[in-house]
Chains A and B, each alone.
Chain A
């Protein structure tokens, strides 16, 4: 398998994962503006920050408005992380690795692109936004379904999965980091409606507001929310879950190829840290510092994978 193909698959799945996560962020942001009295424009600043595009947004817009923020996140092609840009890049990568994809996976990706290109060709009206978000999630789901149902479980599959989970871990940690202050014990007043609302918004951004209730008896507690998103190994968007998947997929590659790289050690170290860690320790150590460290280790791992498997020249 070509290094460039591994790179293409890895990024194809990173972009599709990102597109879906951005759609979730918009969804959560929208929810906030619906349920909260008064101006919500500043909440969108938080959403933009979670998406990692706050500064880029400020360069092209003078004011923070819901409509501008949504448009920027959804369809501005000058924003490389907008849903449209991600789907464009994801599909371009898919085109590049066309021979590595099953026909079903390629067609699901291509149809996603065709539909979104149409859907996002002009500004989406506020009334149509929920439907648009649904289409994005549905289309991403179809790609995932076709991929799982039809791809051989070989190195192609492993690189695709690693891309998905590196991206997801990055996104979850950013969402947490932007809101880390509302999870700090000193600031939070257990049970206050403001905090409840903030917490719910975090959970919604990772589509976990329902599952949280099942696991933690429907009681919002900052340490539980942090635990759920960081350490819970059953929660498919938690950092611990992502690293279970990353290490197992890297493990298959090592077995297949009979060679290990620096990336294997880095991933194992992160996984063990998440496996053994307790949320109390993390909170004591400082949630923000923890997340900052995590993001940088995750990036380092990504670079080591590219190098070890010769993604580039």
Chain B
């Protein structure tokens, strides 16, 4: 929030003035009020393996993160470029595979990848869109300096927190929103529904019927699934509600079976269709892939997009962006060592104490090593894992992330954050101004995942 000479950075100026006139005890109380709002509303997530406390609150920090309109524009351009490149990449690898033939990406990395779905080869999803919803993870390292951490093209979560955080802030501090001109995020559900409906299958007559597919109430993101269905005004369905009848996917209603045109699915590819993928899955809809391939339903995001979330693919993103857009990437990639390459592996093993090592298919902050904060033994143990299966890992330097203020008992303190803006893709790319700011609540920590004790904040993009 502060510049080098201890002045508030321009976007924080109004907030800072307001903050100085607040009673700290009152703010701590407000912070508790916010927690009660979340608990009452049931905005919880499940941490797997914690039977005693199966529903947890994500800690919410009441100091907003503020981004200037200028910085946002730069960021948004970079994200749009990247998202368009991702869609072009997916279309290419499931059709002509020009990027492989041009020698820019090794064939094995695509074709031996579990997230690459042969079922998608030669198939074009309605409107040619693969990634209807993207949540790009960004970190800021300095003025106008952003890096993309992950692309999250499969099923990005957290957007309900973006919306509920804003709702909570507006309830608790209405005066702040008259003092600052903050760009709206509240339209997200309408935009999402419009965007999904606009990509209904060509054969769909009349108003497309949209539904959200959830694994059910025990899923960690169930709250979000129900929130999105509710705010979009569409049905929230489970696999057991759906059945393929006469070449259409239909849901069992109190009046009989009714067809669905667009399915916003929040289950992974593996669980989508037991006839095509995991036969043991009870979550999916037998035969849905056949309906999909015959063009009678839109699945968002398209099956097979998960390959973009692979961290080894990530390391090629600069090449991917350049290959499809013909321009240099506007946003930086974090330099990445692919441990599958012997030289890189050697370097990584020699510099473990400086690096973050991640599993290529990992997510949620699980199974990673944060070199600088790990103990000697943790590093040694991890080195063994690395050596025994190098292709499972990539390594990145720890960036000197910028910090934002959070409220603590003694006032405010700096913490590391990342930012996940949400992007909707149809015939155009729409980026919601703001996103979810995740914050590492532990002093010095770089891990912001909610499963690892991270919290969230409201994110303001100011108007010019």
| A residues whose Cβ falls under 8 Å from a Cβ of B | 1-6, 92, 95-96, 98-99, 103, 106-107, 110-111, 114, 155, 159, 253, 257, 259, 309-310, 313
Task: Tell me the bound Cα distance from A97 to B110 in angstroms.
Answer: 40
Over the window 180-215 of chain B, the binary record of Cβ atoms lying under 8 Å from chain A Cβ atoms (1 yes, 0 no) is: 000000000000000000000000000000000000
Cβ of B235: which chain A residues have Cβ within 8 Å of it? 1-2, 5, 99
Give the interface of B toward A (CB within 8 A). Answer: 39-42, 216-217, 222, 226, 229-230, 235-238, 240-241, 251-256
Q: Contacts A2-B251, A257-B254 known; A313 to B240 CB distance under 8 Å?
A: yes
A99→B217 contact, CB < 8 A = no
Q: Is the CB of A1 within 8 A of B254?
A: yes
Complex Cα distance, B252 from A5, in Å, reads 10
Contact residues in A for B254 (Cβ distance below 8 Å): 1-3, 6, 155, 159, 253, 257, 309-310
Question: Can you give 17 contacting A-B residue pairs, CB < 8 Å?
Answer: A1-B235, A2-B241, A3-B253, A4-B241, A92-B217, A96-B216, A96-B217, A98-B226, A98-B230, A98-B236, A99-B236, A106-B42, A107-B40, A114-B39, A257-B254, A310-B256, A313-B240
List residues of chain B with CB within 8 A of the CB of A6: 254
Q: Which residues of A contact B42 (CB under 8 A)?
A: 95, 98, 106-107, 110
Contacts of B237 in A (CB 8 A): 2
Q: Which residues from chain B contact A107 at a C-beta distance below 8 Å?
A: 40-42
Bound CA–CA A99/B256 (angstroms): 20
**Best-buried of B230, B253, B256 by chain A (most CB within 10 Å):** B253
Give Cα A1 to B241, complex, Å.
11
- Closest 5 pairs (CB-CB, A-B): A98-B226, A99-B230, A309-B254, A3-B252, A110-B42
Contact partner of A3 among B41, B230, B236, B241, CB < 8 A?
Answer: B241
Bound-state CA distance A10–B42 (Å) is: 21
Secondary structure at the A interface, as helix, strand, loop or mixed, is helix
Q: Does the CB pair A2–B252 fall under 8 Å?
A: yes
**Other-chain contact of B229, A99, A103, A159 (Cβ < 8 Å):** A99
- State how many angstroms separate the Cβ of A49 from the closest Cβ of chain B: 33
Closest-CB distance, A312 to chain B (whole angstroms): 9
Measured in the bound complex, the distance between the Cα atoms of B237 and A313 in whole Å is: 13
A110 contacts across to B, CB distance below 8 A: 40-42
* A3 CA to B252 CA, complexed, in Å: 6
With both beta carbons as reference points, the residue of chain B lying nearest to A308 in the complex is identified as B254
Q: How far apart sit A114 and B55, CA to CA, in the bound complex (Å)?
A: 11
Q: Is the CB of A1 within 8 A of B253?
A: yes
Give the distance in Å from the alpha carbon of A310 to the alpha carbon of B240 in the complex. 12
Least Cβ distance of A264 to chain B in Å?
Answer: 14
Q: Can you name the residue of chain A whose Cβ is closest to the Cβ of B238?
A: A4
- Residue from B41, B237, B254 having most chain A Cβ neighbours under 10 A: B254
Identity of the chain A residue whose Cβ is nearest the Cβ of B231 in the assembled complex: A99
A111 in contact with B40 (CB, 8 Å) = yes
Collect the chain A residues with CB atoms within 8 Å of residue B222's CB: 95
CB neighbours (8 Å) of B236 from chain A are 98-99
Q: CB within 8 A of B226: which of A99, A159, A313?
A: A99
Contacts of A257 in B (CB 8 A): 254-255
With A106-B42, A110-B42, A114-B39 in contact, is A259–B255 under 8 Å at CB? yes
> How far apart are the CA atoms of A313 and B282 in the complex, in Å?
13
Known: A99-B230, A99-B236, A313-B240. A2 touches B253 (CB 8 A): yes
Separation of A95 and B224 alpha carbons in the complex (Å): 12
How far is B287's CA from A96's CA once the two chains are assembled, in angstroms?
25
- Residues of A contacting B255 in the complex (Cβ-Cβ under 8 angstroms): 1, 257, 259
Q: Bound state CA distance, A293 and B46, in angstroms?
A: 45
Contact check, B226 vs A95: say whether CB atoms are below 8 A apart. yes
Shortest A92–chain B CB gap in Å is 6
Q: A1-B235, A96-B216 are in contact. List 5 more A-B contacts (CB 8 A).
A: A2-B253, A96-B217, A98-B236, A309-B254, A313-B240
Verify A310–B217 contact, CB threshold 8 A: no
B235 to chain A, nearest CB (A): 6
Quick one: closest B residue to A103, CB to CB? B41
Q: How far is the CA of A141 from the CA of B256 in the complex (A)?
A: 34
A100 CA to B216 CA in the complex, in Å?
A: 15
CB-nearest residue of chain A to B254: A309
Q: Which residues of A contact B39 (CB under 8 A)?
A: 114
Known: A99-B236, A111-B40. A310 touches B253 (CB 8 A): yes
Q: Is the CB of B230 within 8 A of A95?
A: no
Q: Shortest beta-carbon distance, B97 to chain A, in Å?
A: 41
With A and B bound together, what is the CA distance between A103 and B227 in angstroms? 11
A258's nearest neighbour on chain B, judged by CB, is: B255
Residues of B within 8 A of A103 (CB): 41
Closest to A109 in B: B42
Which residues of the partner chain B approach A155 to less than 8 Å between Cβ atoms? 254
- Could you tell me if B217 and A4 are in contact, using CB atoms closer than 8 angstroms? no
Interface-centre pick from B230, B251, B252 (highest chain A CB count, 10 A): B252
* B240 contact set on A, CB distance < 8 A: 4, 313
A310-B252 CB under 8 A given contacts A2-B241, A3-B241, A99-B235: yes
Q: How far is the CA of A114 from the CA of B236 in the complex (A)?
A: 25
Q: How far is the CA of A98 from the CA of B222 in the complex (A)?
A: 10
Tell me, rounded to whole Å, the shortest Cβ–Cβ distance linking A302 to chain B. Answer: 15
B396 to chain A, nearest CB (A): 38
Question: Could you tell me the distance between the alpha carbons of A123 and B74 in the complex, rounded to whole angstroms?
Answer: 60
Contacts of A310 in B (CB 8 A): 252-254, 256
The residue of chain A having its C-beta at the shortest distance from the C-beta of B229 within the complex is A99
A269, chain B: closest CB distance, angstroms:
23
CA distance A114 to B39 in the complex (A): 9
The residues of A that contact B41 with a CB separation of less than 8 Å are 103, 107, 110
CB distance from A114 to the nearest CB of B (A): 7
Among A2, A95, A159, A257, find the residue whose CB has the most chain B CB atoms closer than 10 A.
Answer: A2
Contact A313 B230 (CB under 8 A): no
CA distance in complex: A231, B222 (Å): 45
Q: Which residues of B contact A259 (CB under 8 A)?
A: 255
Cα A92 to Cα B40 in complex, Å, equals 15
Q: Closest chain B residue to A159 by CB distance?
A: B254
Bound-complex Cα distance A290 to B236 (A)? 43
**Nearest CB of chain A from residue B34's CB, rounded to whole Å:** 16
